[in-house]
Amino acid sequence: MPTDVARRVFREVHTDLPREAPGSRDCTARALTSVVLPDEPSVLDIGCGPGTQTLDLARLLPGARITALDAQERFVAVTTQRLQAAGLADRVVTEVGDMRRLHFTDQSFDLLWCEGAIYIMGVREALAAWRDLLKPGGWIGFTEAVWLTDSPPEELYRWWHEAYPKMGGVEDCLESVRGSGFEVVEHFVLPEAAWWSDYYEPMERRLVVLREHYRSDPLALAAIENHQQEVDYYRRWSAHYGYLFVVARREQG
Ligand SMILES: C[S@@+](CC[C@H](N)C(=O)[O-])C[C@H]1O[C@@H](n2cnc3c(N)ncnc32)[C@H](O)[C@@H]1O
């Protein structure tokens, strides 16, 4: 159970980062190349965080009408502000909402998007809950943490198993998609750069500042080192795990 201090540090680490998970515009664009959409598709971006992929979607799909949703008001506010500053707010609605209880009527969307957030429900649970929101033949794109080898180092496995016990391999993830009434159309592992530029590099810069700020608070410093450990694990053992981008199409019927 995280302590209040750990929660506070978590929140401070995860403030003003461009992204809240690995990802990049190139990866979003690459995933979209497999998707066939009408000229003015309706799109739902689930767990939008600070909205980087929302802005990318709006730019890459110029005819789209997008709803971007997140459980945290502070992220929705940032996304809204960034969309306004970019002149994209007329095509994107933002809202605070819970991915477990989406209020949209069935067959509302041509495309569901979920970068770095499907783990909150788990792939199978999320696809079962969201499938009917798609029009027949509609699409989903999401990213999910996966093991890339069968033999991760014990220390790494224990850390991730505690953080995300449902994490499986690439084939486990794709099987979950196929078993949920979707055809997998494309999948690729995000390049390592997509973990660093918008995510771990800005996070490490934040950790330096927080270490100084909390220099006489051992509990906060311990929480900060837990974040540093996550980054260091990736630096050392990135061959063993990664983020998988999956693009899939709802089967008819
Ligand atoms: C790892 S972040 C990814 C955010 C963003 N897509 C990105 O890649 O930067 C996961 C996001 O899911 C949001 N979230 C957590 N639980 C949620 C829920 N039940 N419903 C909607 N969003 C949720 C968090 O607030 C956070 O912004």
Rounded to the nearest 10 degrees, what angle do helices 52-60 and 73-85 cross at?
Answer: 40
Would you call 28 helix, strand, or coil by DSSP? helix
Segment (H or E) for 249: strand 241-250
pLDDT value at 253 more than 80: no
**Separation of alpha carbons 13 and 209, rounded Å:** 10
Would you call 56 helix, strand, or coil by DSSP? helix
**Separation of alpha carbons 212 and 56, rounded Å:** 34
Q: Which amino acid residue places its CA nearest to atom 16 of ligand 1? A: 71
Q: How confident is the model at residue 2, as a pLDDT?
A: 79
Q: How confident is the model at residue 193, as a pLDDT?
A: 98
- In CATH terms, the fold of domain 20-148+166-190+238-250 is Rossmann fold (3.40.50)
The pair of structure tokens assigned to 207 is 């950790």
Q: How confident is the model at residue 1, as a pLDDT?
A: 72
- What is the tens place of the pLDDT at every residue in 30-78? 999 999 999 999 999 999 999 999 999 999 999 999 999 999 999 999 9
Rounded distance from Cα 94 to ligand 1 centre (Å): 13
Of the candidates 57, 71, 73, the residue with the CA atom closest to the CA atom of residue 109 = 57
Q: Are strands 134-147 and 182-189 parallel, antiparallel or unpaired?
A: unpaired
- What is the tens place of the pLDDT at every residue in 116-170? 999 999 999 999 999 999 999 999 999 999 999 999 999 999 999 999 999 999 9
Q: How confident is the model at residue 252, as a pLDDT?
A: 81
Q: How confident is the model at residue 249, as a pLDDT?
A: 98
Of the candidates 105, 106, 112, the residue with the CA atom closest to the CA atom of residue 46 = 112
CA torsion, ordered 160, 163, 165, 169, to nearest 10 deg = -40
> For residue 189, how many other CB atoms are within 10 A of its CB?
16
Of the candidates 66, 78, 126, the residue with the CA atom closest to the CA atom of residue 101 = 126
Q: Which amino acid residue places its CA nearest to atom 2 of ligand 1? A: 20
Sequence ranges of the domains in the chain:
20-148+166-190+238-250
Q: Which of 13, 14, 20 to mutate to test the pocket of ligand 1 (most atoms within 8 A of CB)?
A: 20
Rounded distance from Cα 122 to ligand 1 centre (Å): 13
* Angstrom distances, CA of residue 114 to CA of 124, 126, 160, 190: 14, 10, 21, 14
Cβ–ligand 1 distance for 98 under 6 Å, the answer yes
Answer yes or no: are the C-beta atoms of 206 and 18 closer than 8 Å.
Answer: no
Rounded distance from Cα 216 to ligand 1 centre (Å): 32
